[in-house]
């Protein structure tokens, strides 16, 4: 039971990290597009 619970917790933490990393990458890409728009204007 303990090994299963720890494995699930590690998987959940890894999922959260992957999700936050993905959102950060999306934000960085959007910031580049927004910065280009501001620079062009």
The rounded distance, in Å, linking the Cα atoms of 19 and 6 is 20
What does the pLDDT read at residue 13? 94
What does the pLDDT read at residue 2? 65
DSSP states along 1-41: -HHHHHHHHHHHHHHHHHHHHHHHHHHHHHHHHHHHHHHH-
What does the pLDDT read at residue 35? 76
Paired tokens of 19: 């999700």
The rounded distance, in Å, linking the Cα atoms of 20 and 33 is 20
Q: Each residue of 1-41: pLDDT tens digit?
A: 567 788 889 999 999 999 999 999 998 888 888 778 777 76
The pTM for the full model equals 0.51
Paired tokens of 24: 């950060």
């Amino acid at each position: 039971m303990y090994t299963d619970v720890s494995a699930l917790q590690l998987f959940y933490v890894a999922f959260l990290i992957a999700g936050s990393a993905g959102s950060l990458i999306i934000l960085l890409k959007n910031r580049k597009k927004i910065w280009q728009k501001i620079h062009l204007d």
